[in-house]
A and B are shown apart, each in its own frame.
Chain A
Amino acid sequence: MKKISFACVYIGLFALLAACNIFRLPSSDPFYSSSGDWDSIRFPLIKPYEVVNIGYGWSIQLHISPLAKEINWYISLNDVEKISVKNSVIMIYTPYKKDVIEEMGEKVLNWFVIIPDKEIETGFDNEDDFLRYIQEYGVNEVAWESPDTLYQRFLHTGCLEWIPGCQ
């Protein structure tokens, strides 16, 4: 009986604290409202792109097949350090040095641009090329933020500027 009482107290406490998460969600789409799975945390960029952390740093899975894109040696971005989203353009910086085969023309890329509407996933090895590229899509200035900052804002407000209903 004592064990059952303890279990009820734990379950009640669990439910109460978990409830903190459900009254803050402005979006009905779970993609834009979920802040994590059981043992991971995440926040949404523009669907289907999300930033995930399972304890080893922030990473973003890419969605366009390597067969269909120019930077075919990247299937995910690891150690993401800075992110900006403007005009439906996702901009990412990571200092991660991916293992590449230079002899095959592959390069270590640190600046990435994702435009979901246009099915673009591309990357650059220098900032100048990156800045020139985003200007073509109407982005003249990059307001970088760290994933930690964005996650905390999402966790506490349920909102990020690019989430539908948050502007």
Chain B
Amino acid sequence: MIPSTQGTQAWDRYAYVNNNPVRYVDPSGHSPRRSDYRNQIHANKMAESNRRGEAENLLDMLMLAFAGVDAIYLVGDALELIQNDPRFLEFQSQIVFEALSKSGYGEIDFNFSEVAEYGITFGGSRDPASMLMQFLDPHNPMYSETQAVGSSELTWMLRHANVSVDVHVSKNGQITLSYTLTDQFDLTPDWENRSLEYNIATYFLGSVWHGTLDASKPYVYANWTTVVNPWAMCWGLLPC
């Protein structure tokens, strides 16, 4: 169906799915973006699961995985950590700038969606020096960035997670960002797509965690909405 180009509803690309393309599919055959498709799969798995729980911190996640849940919803303090993570805020700024740069901004209502380049690195950036050197001298002040990463709860809860966002821009310039975060909480080696260090560590840790202790590999899910007013950008709340 091709919507009429008259009126603001024509700009609303997701009106047919109640503005939530992550949770709904388009029966008319619009091809879904891969990331949304993946989020959709995760969301479906969680919706189907009877074994799910909410986590506010790493300990909650560990306990839930140990209890064998299939899905973990991040809430409370965990959500707050995500929302204040520097890399996430950088991504959010990019989205806001993308909205501001669109030709219809401030004139019409419109929607679009975006994917965080297949993942956001949570918990900060580690020092890029060799991991072995840092491992052998972990308290060296030179590696303070890595130490901060290691002490960040988000590093252990997520590290890399898929984030997609549906953006609604109002005629008055207000930008509403509806985020969906998905990840899987597991310690399984992936020899093609993970670093050697990760694979060695997870080979041993994972065999104990998932094997001996029989912990599950739950999907991790978070959903929240942020509203950005353009004036906030020039008052220091976001980069201007």
Task: Give me the interface of A with B, judged by CB distance under 8 Å.
Answer: 10, 13-15, 17-22, 25, 30-31, 33-41, 52-57, 59-61, 65-67, 72-73, 75-79, 96-101, 103-105
Contacts and interface: CB of A to CB of B under 8 A. Distances in A.
A78 B197 CA distance: 25
Contact of B195 (A36, A66, A72, A105): A36
Nearest to A7: B204
A22 B133 contact: yes
Given A17-B196, A99-B33, A66 B94 contact: yes
B211 to A, nearest CB: 15
Interface of B: 5, 10-11, 13, 31, 33-35, 38, 94-95, 97-98, 100-104, 110, 112-119, 121, 126-133, 135-136, 155, 159-160, 162, 190, 193-198, 200-201, 204
A52 B12 CA distance: 32
Contacts of A75: 94-95, 98, 114, 117
A38 B197 contact: yes
A56 B198 contact: no
Contacts of B33: 97-99
B128 A31 contact: yes
Given A15-B136, A18-B132, A104-B103, A10 B204 contact: yes
Contacts of A76: 115-117
A66 B204 CA distance: 44
Contact of B193 (A22, A53, A60, A67): A53
A21 B33 CA distance: 36
Contacts of B132: 15, 18-19, 21-22
Given A37-B121, A66-B101, A99 B160 contact: no
A14 B198 CA distance: 10
Contacts of B13: 99, 101
Contact of A21 (B94, B196, B201): B196
A41 B155 CA distance: 16
Contacts of B204: 10
Contact of B135 (A15, A73, A98): A15
Given A38-B159, A99-B33, A99-B112, 4 more contacts: A40-B121, A54-B118, A54-B160, A79-B34
B117 A59 contact: yes
A73 B195 contact: no
A61 B204 CA distance: 33
A30 B198 contact: no
Contacts of B136: 15
B35 to A, nearest CB: 8
B102 A101 contact: yes
B173 to A, nearest CB: 15
Nearest to B100: A67
Contact of B10 (A21, A34, A60, A103): A103
Contacts of A39: 159-160, 194-195, 198
A52 B117 contact: yes
A57 B114 CA distance: 16
A37 B196 CA distance: 10
